[in-house]
Structure 1
Amino acid sequence: MNGKESLEIERKFLVNSFDPSLASKSFRIVQGYITAEKTKTVRVRIKGQKGFITIKGQSSDDGLSRFEWEKEIPVSEVEALLKLCEPGLIDKTRYEIPVGNHIYEVDIFEGDNKGLIVAEVELSSTDETFKKPDWLGQEVTGDNKYYNAMLMKTPFNKW
């Protein structure tokens, strides 16, 4: 099974209000970071019933894009690798909400990040236009404190 390499282009927003009935699907995500540096992160994740390992490069200056490599691995391997992760797991429920031609991923965080709700939309280019639903709040694209790797180190409840 080969990994998938891509350039991740996304915009990130806070969420003002959220209606779970808008979601086409939802699942729990538990993830940890083997390494979480500014130039690279290595993440393991259980997403629903599947496991993944993901390596991400440094974000562009505007925070819109970065290299990403991801491979599905057995959940049992993720559980073993979580023991090697830096302290501070991310626990959240992700809701996928279709809006126009895009899918917004709305993450409702639990644990030390409880109270934080963030939405991301993946784009095919940095200048691609997309619909912004009225439940979106302030854009936080490129604000490091909203990256999951940073939320693991400095959780929302410590702000």
Structure 2
Amino acid sequence: MNIEIERKFLVNSEAFKVLAFNSYSIKQGFLNSHKERTVRVRLKNDNGYLTIKGLSSKNGLSRFEWEKEISITEAEQLLQLCEKGIINKTRFEIKSGKHIFEVDEFYDENAGLIIAEVELNSEIENFEKPKWLGKEVTGDVRYYNSQLSVNPFLSW
């Protein structure tokens, strides 16, 4: 069992792209997008993953997460069973101080949305905020990928 602690932010410019040390495409869908438990299938480059996440804490900072690597074939087959609303995005990894920010640039029905996440070791851990970091949206369920699949950004 793993407890994931992360903070989410909107991104106010594309300046992060030149700072990225890695980027890759992600295609993902949800077998279950219920707020108490989400079951996600993800294709990330040449790897497949099945991830289960639990209910977020009241402040939205932490929640249970379990992930297992699966074959590309299994991931592609499971994507066929997913709820409506497959998400396509590019993830950029950017080092800032001692942390790595994961910045997702969304496409299709979520085009125009760019979200940065930073994983922390505790809910009160300090971190360096890059200049391109915008408004904090931690705990705002509209920005959860499971919700973006059913209520995409372009429909807001």
Match of 1:16 among 12, 18, 42: 12
Match of 2:134 among 132, 137, 158: 137
Instruction: Provide the aligned length of Structure 1 versus Structure 2.
Output: 155
Instruction: Name the CA distance, whole Å, in 2 between partners of 1:41 and 1:96.
Output: 24
Match of 1:78 among 72, 75, 79: 75
Instruction: Name the CA distance, whole Å, in 1 between partners of 2:149 and 2:5.
Output: 22
Number of the residue aligned with 1:112: 109
Matches within 5 A, 1:59-78: 59-78=56-75
Number of the residue aligned with 1:150: 147
Q: Which moved more, 1:19-28 or 1:145-154?
A: 19-28
Q: Which ranges of structure 2 fall in alignment gaps of 5 or more residues?
A: none
* Superposed CA offset, 1:11-42 (max 9, x none): 00000012311001000000000000010000
> Per-residue deviation at 1:49?
1.2
User: SS at 2:52's partner residue?
Assistant: strand
The structure 1 segments of at least 4 consecutive aligned residues displaced by more than 4 Å after TM superposition are: none
**TM-score under structure 2 length normalisation:** 0.98
Number of the residue aligned with 1:6: 2
User: SS at 2:77's partner residue?
Assistant: helix
Q: Which ranges of structure 1 fall in alignment gaps of 5 or more residues?
A: none
Quote the RMSD (CA, aligned, Å).
0.5
Q: Percent identity?
A: 59
Number of the residue aligned with 1:97: 94
2:39 corresponds to 1:42? yes
Instruction: Name the CA distance, whole Å, in 2 between partners of 1:94 and 1:38.
Output: 23
Instruction: Name the CA distance, whole Å, in 2 between partners of 1:48 and 1:68.
Output: 21
**TM-score under structure 1 length normalisation:** 0.96
